[in-house]
Amino acid sequence: MKLTGAEILLECLLEQQVDTVFGYPGGAVLNIYDALYQYADRIRHIRTAHEQGAAHAADGYARSSGKTGVCIATSGPGATNLVTGLATAYMDSVPMVAITGNVARPLLGLDSFQEVDITGITMPVTKHNFLVREVGDLADTVREAFAIAQSGRKGPVLIDIPKDVTAAECEYTGREPLPPEDTPMPSERRMKAALELLMHSERPFIYAGGGVILSEAAGELHRLAAALDAPVACSLMCQGGYDQYDGRYVGMLGMHGTKTAALALHECDLLVAIGTRFSDRVTCNAGLFAKNCKVLHIDIDTAEFGKNVDAALRLRGNAREILAALLPALPQREHGDWMARITRWQREYPLVQSAPHPDAVTPKELLETLDALTGSEAILTTEVGQHQMWAAQFYRFRRPRQFITSGGLGTMGFGLGAAMGAQLANPGKQVVNIAGDGSFLMNANELSTAARYNIPLIELILNNGVLGMVRQWQKLFYENRFSHTTLEKPVDYELLAKAYGVPAYTIAERAQIEPVLRQALGEKGPVLVNCLIDMDQNVLPMVPAGAPVEDIILEM
């Protein structure tokens, strides 16, 4: 049948089982939006307040569901407003397809109104991007984009479509989606070498990264830890990849990790690193990282091997498939003395947080109360800063895709859009965005989107009146010169929320934590909770920049 380019685009989205897209209309995508009007019963469109919010919402939808998120923007500033969201997804290996309109083909390259070379701009922050010059190429381009987004190390793909291509007509024939490309398994020789390392280790330590979640390997990770009789630490991106109620879990490793994880790294004889790129926030000083042990590194991306940390053995492939192949050949190991040391360290070095006065709200008590009230079952999104680390430290995640945060790029303003995407992908789940007041003000306009579509999420602001993480560094390393980190913005957060039609509450003292959270959790639509905390509440433990992971600060 003959369809316009815009109709072909939407038919291809339906082929990929896309049911929700996030975007903002404009001149170059008018034909696409006209088609969306006709397809409204099959594809739900969420109009965000800003294109960056659309990208973050598509990202949150993808991270929380495992599906490919989709966002749409017009040419020029609409397209460039997606760049931060694309870079956020790229750094954290999130499958997304961004669709941008552009000026008509005869106007390309002429500095036309709202024209920009978005494929050139986004080349460094996408897995691949396309400029579709012929309507006959559109369908196959869309199919290829979705396959690329989900193949190998996942990531965002951009499709730029000139306006006249969306208006042109072409024959369309539906097809089944292209499967993601298979990732080859390591050689039998390498697999045997890995088994030798695992079987001869007396003090093994498992470090799991975001690749565990992306490859759906949480079950295999749990079985490996049991078979190997080893403690497990998770990166920020792998929160929920291992059940934190399990006694083997020792917390995060790295700059804001636990003392137990740091000691386990120092004392282990084998570090089994799965689906991790060894970020500088984990290694702290890569030259001193894991120098007392052998490293077995399992990852899907060969570019990550040896980039930051050398390994005795590298296994390239899908983490779930590799672990599934290793487990049947791995005999049950027993490391009673090693696990007893781990348990002793856990008792000696628990995560604690003092309050400046008895009635003060501490992030620890706030998040532990939220954890208890939600039965550890909520999906938490975060902005970036101290609140992000506290959420990872004090909420106990039980399964993958519960914790959604910008780890690689560290994008302030990410969480609220991501929370909307996560809730729309998981309508039966409770979704809470943990925000700092600085991050919240970056994209507070998306409260209007949550209100417009009655998206039932909680915006929980840990309000300390400062850019807390930067202030903490100024305190430690800049002799308390708090240059431009005190916000001093006279914002009434309850009034701001109510202006958007969102109910709001304030927590000012400890006694209000549980009743206010209960009330917020009972709301049927979006709600804002403004929680006042002390500006000098710090994220601890902390490893100073350039120090080895073991040199961890427990008190300030």
Which residues lie across from 2 on neighbouring strands?
171
> How many other CB atoms sit within 10 Å of the CB of residue 506?
16
Q: Does any domain span residue 417?
A: yes
Q: How far is CA 517 from the centre of its chain?
A: 24
Is the pTM higher than 0.95? yes
CA 364 to chain centre: 22
Q: Which residue has the tokens 């931060």?
A: 84
Looking at the fold, whether 254 and 340 belong to one and the same domain comes out as yes
| Domain limits for position 222 | 188-348
Kindly report, residue by residue over 337-391, the tens digit of the pLDDT.
999 999 999 999 999 999 999 999 999 999 999 999 999 999 999 999 999 999 9
Residues 6 or more apart whose CB falls under 8 angstroms from that of 124 comprise: none
Asked if the model's pLDDT at residue 44 lies above 90, the reply is yes
Domain CATH number, residue 282: 3.40.50.1220
Residue 551 forms part of a structural domain: no
Instruction: Examine the fold and report which residue of 112, 140, 171 is the final residue of a domain before the chain moves on.
Output: 171
- 469 catalytically annotated: yes
Residues 35 and 69 placed together within one structural domain of the fold:
yes
Could you tell me if 7 and 143 lie in one domain? yes
Instruction: Tell me which of 7, 11, 51, 459 is the catalytic residue.
Output: 51
pLDDT (average), residues 13-20? 98
Q: Which of 113, 123, 291, 556 is catalytic?
A: 113
292 and 266 Cβ atoms separated by less than 8 Å:
yes
| 69-100 pLDDT, tens digit each | 999 999 999 999 999 999 999 999 999 999 99
Residue 294 a catalytic site member? no
Question: Is there a single domain that holds both residue 135 and residue 110?
Answer: yes
Q: What end-to-end distance do the CA atoms of the chain give, in Å?
A: 69
On whether the CB atoms of residues 202 and 269 are closer than 8 A, the answer is yes
Q: Looking at the domain assignment, is residue 215 inside a domain?
A: yes
- Rounded to an integer, the average pLDDT of 297-319 is 97
Domain count, the chain: 3
- Domain at 92, CATH number: 3.40.50.970
Q: Where residue 545 falls among pLDDT bands split at 50, 70, 90?
A: confident
Q: What is the rounded distance in angstroms from the CA atom of residue 153 to the CA atom of residue 209?
A: 13
**One domain, residues 447 and 383:** yes
Q: How many CB atoms lie within 10 A of CB 272?
A: 27
Q: Is 163 noted as a catalytic residue in this protein?
A: yes
Query: What is the tens place of the pLDDT at every residue in 471-519?
Result: 999 999 999 999 999 999 889 999 999 999 999 999 999 999 999 999 9
CA dihedral sign, ordered 192, 308, 323, 226:
positive
Q: Is 126 among the domain residues? A: yes
Query: Which of 96, 115, 154, 163 does the annotation list as catalytic?
Result: 163
Residue where a domain terminates, one of 303, 319, 348: 348
- DSSP, res 547: S
Same domain? For 195 and 162 the reply is no
As a whole-number percent, the residues of the chain with pLDDT over 90 amount to 96
| Catalytic annotation present for 237 | no
Query: Does some domain include residue 475?
Result: yes
Mean pLDDT over the full length of the chain = 97
| Residue 232 lies inside a defined structural domain of this protein | yes
Are residues 416 and 279 part of one domain?
Answer: no
418 and 290 co-located in one domain? no
According to the model, what pLDDT value does residue 209 have? 98
Same domain, 327 and 372: no
Are 251 and 106 in a shared domain? no
Catalytic residue among 91, 412, 469, 542: 469
Please report the pLDDT score of residue 178 as a whole number: 87
Q: Is the pLDDT of residue 147 over 90?
A: yes
For 239-296, the pLDDT digits (tens) are 999 999 999 999 999 999 999 999 999 999 999 999 999 999 999 999 999 999 999 9
- Residue 179 located in a structural domain: no
Residue 546 lies in a domain: no
Give the rounded percent of residues in the chain with a pLDDT score beyond 70.
100
512 is catalytic: no
Task: Note whether 159 and 206 are same-domain residues.
Answer: no
Domain end among 144, 171, 198: 171
Whether 209 and 143 share a structural domain: no
How many whole angstroms separate alpha carbon 134 and alpha carbon 130? 12
pLDDT class of 555 with cuts at 50, 70, 90: confident
Average confidence (pLDDT) over 319-325: 98
Q: Which of 15, 67, 114, 353 is catalytic?
A: 114
**pLDDT for residue 18:** 98
